[in-house]
Amino acid sequence: SAPVTLPALKVLFSRQQIADRVAEIGRQIDRDYAGQSIVLLGVLKGAAIFLADLARNISIDCTFDFVAVSSYGKGQKTSGAVKLIKDVDQPIEGKHVIVVEDILDTGLTLDFLHKLFQQHQPRSLRIAALLDKPSRRMVKIEADYVGFKIPNQFVLGYGMDYAERFRNLPDICLMPPDYPE
């Protein structure tokens, strides 16, 4: 079975690069929603760390909520089917909502969630994704706030997992190409 640590991880974005970019996005959100209240709506589990850091770079009034959707599972491939496993705790009707995601990949997750949340008639609905892999997109969806655009490489750390591990890495790292499935 897979070892508990990964050998020779290449850092794609360091904790400092991430912190700087997250701070910029926070300042942008403060400007865009000045004088208003927002809901930061995180998608478990990958977005947890980005949401925690982004929230602390936002000065305007804000609340948190979380949803969970069916996951990729243990492999690197998407099953394509998205299902809601945990709904919001508080109604989002009439609220300014920002869906917070770690990564926008095929877009299936955010496309599903965006359509679902739109039906709840929020006052506004935007997406913040720390990473964007546009080359992988299967449906037409874009984020309003993007941290970094990246090529088609499997990334982990800063919330992102391989078989549920390595979410706790402070940097965003590249999966070794020879790592066992």
Give the residues lining the site for ligand PRP (CB under 6 A).
43-46, 71-72, 78, 101-109, 161
Q: What are phi and psi of 174, to 5 degrees?
A: -95, 135
The residue to which tokens 């701070």 are assigned: 23
Of 161, 169, 173, 175, the one binding Mg ion by CB under 5 A: 161
Let me know: does 139 contact 109? Beta carbons within 8 Å: no
Catalytic residue at 105? yes
CB of 127 to ligand PRP, least distance (A): 11
Q: Judged by CB under 5 A, does residue 46 bind Mn ion?
A: yes
Closest residue to Mg ion, Cβ-based?
161
The residue to which tokens 């970094």 are assigned: 148
User: Looking at this protein, which amino acid is placed at residue 24?
Assistant: E
**Strand 155-156 relative to strand 172-174: parallel, antiparallel, unpaired?**
antiparallel
Beta carbon nearer to Mg ion, 101 or 161: 161
Residue 15 interaction partner, one of ligand PRP, Mn ion, Mg ion, none, beta carbon < 5-8 Å per kind:
none
Q: What are phi and psi of 64, to 5 degrees?
A: -110, 145
Closest residue to ligand PRP, Cβ-based?
46
User: Which among 105, 132, 161, 178 is annotated as catalytic?
Assistant: 105
Burial of 83 (0-12, 13-18, 19+ CB in 10 A): exposed
Residue 105 interaction partner, one of Mn ion, Mg ion, ligand PRP, none, beta carbon < 5-8 Å per kind:
ligand PRP
- Interactions with Mg ion, residue window 58-97 (CB under 5 A): 72
CB of 139 to ligand PRP, least distance (A): 9
Residue 106 interaction partner, one of ligand PRP, Mg ion, Mn ion, none, beta carbon < 5-8 Å per kind:
ligand PRP
CB of 41 to Mn ion, least distance (A): 13
Q: Is the preceding omega at residue 45 within 30 degrees of 0, hence cis?
A: yes
Query: How many other CB atoms are found less than 10 A from the CB of residue 71?
Result: 17
Active site residues: 105
